[in-house]
Amino acid sequence: MAETGGAEGERPGAGDLRSVLVTSVLSLERLDLDLFRGRHYWVPVTRRLFGGQIVGQALVAAARAVGEDMHVHSLHCYFVRAGDPGVPVLYQVERTRTGRSFSVRSVKAVQHGKPIFICQASFQRAQPSPVQHQFAMPAVPAPEELLTWDELIHKYLQDPNLVEKYRQGLNKMLAQNVPIELKPVNPPDVFHWQPQEPKQLFWVRARGYIGEGDMKLHCCVAAYISDYAFLGTALLPHRQHTVEFMVSLDHSMWFHAPFRADHWMLYECESPWAVLGQVRPHPQGS
């Protein structure tokens, strides 16, 4: 993800609401030294737990088991069971390794006495390096030049010829209280089903204000955001087919440099491979 700041991205001031991702979604209750309980804020229309919530909360639990000077640089996760939105999730942290420069924490998310998710997060003490490089950011319009997903839906709803089933679906999408702001760079045509290239670009950020704060907190927020609008990329070349549901099976992230999750970040999603009959599409984002 690339980040942009600017006046719109900063959003300071006493009148700004603290991001609900910080005050609610990622605010875990400590039950014991390395045992935490997480609750749900937003549940998708599938009535399954949102995968990004589990990833973000698991990373919060892992981060609470390391020192303040340790920063997450990667996490690798597997979803092993569907989550139940009717009960909280327990997060059990194992202090797998604690070293001078690197530490590893393993997290198991449990419901009804069974694991629904497992994760390993690696933390590193910040060390400057003269050896650096990165790919150039794609050339795209600035976020200030684009409409949010909610604004696009309102625009679609103004069409007097809009088919009623589409109108109902769009109104359901508007009613969801998603704690993420999203601006598609090239919005898909939601009313036609021609195959498209399996690649999407979004500007994304957390709703509300987070501020500078702890870098680990911004990583946890980005982990939550990372699973949103992700799997749909794999369906773009196959829009003529009906897919009843898709779920995340595994999820990995790398954190290379400091950033602000309440600033606009460019999220590039692509799916280089998919066999939908085997239910194993392979989307990836950066």
CA 284, CA 256: separation in Å to the nearest integer?
A: 16
Looking at residue 261, its amino acid is A
168 domain-assigned: yes
277 domain-assigned: no
What is the percent of the chain where pLDDT is above 90? 51
Q: What are phi and psi of 202, to 5 degrees?
A: -130, 145
278 domain-assigned: no
- Minimal CA–CA distance to 71: which of 207, 225, 213, 264? 213
46 domain-assigned: yes
Q: 75 with 222: CB under 8 angstroms?
A: no
214 domain-assigned: yes
* Least confident window among 58-62, 140-144, 186-190, 271-275: 186-190
Q: 152 with 202: CB under 8 angstroms?
A: no
CATH number for position 238? 2.40.160.210
Strand partners of residue 205: 181
- pLDDT tens-digit readout, 57-103: 999 999 999 999 999 999 999 999 999 999 999 999 999 999 999 99
12 domain-assigned: no
- pLDDT tens-digit readout, 240-276: 777 666 677 889 999 998 999 999 999 998 888 876 6
Single pTM value for the model: 0.86
27 domain-assigned: yes
255 domain-assigned: yes
Name the domain count of the chain.
1
- pLDDT tens-digit readout, 2-31: 666 544 445 444 344 578 888 888 999 999
Residue-range definition of the domain harbouring residue 222: 20-126+137-270
What string of DSSP letters covers 116-142?
EEEEEEEEEE----S----PPPP----
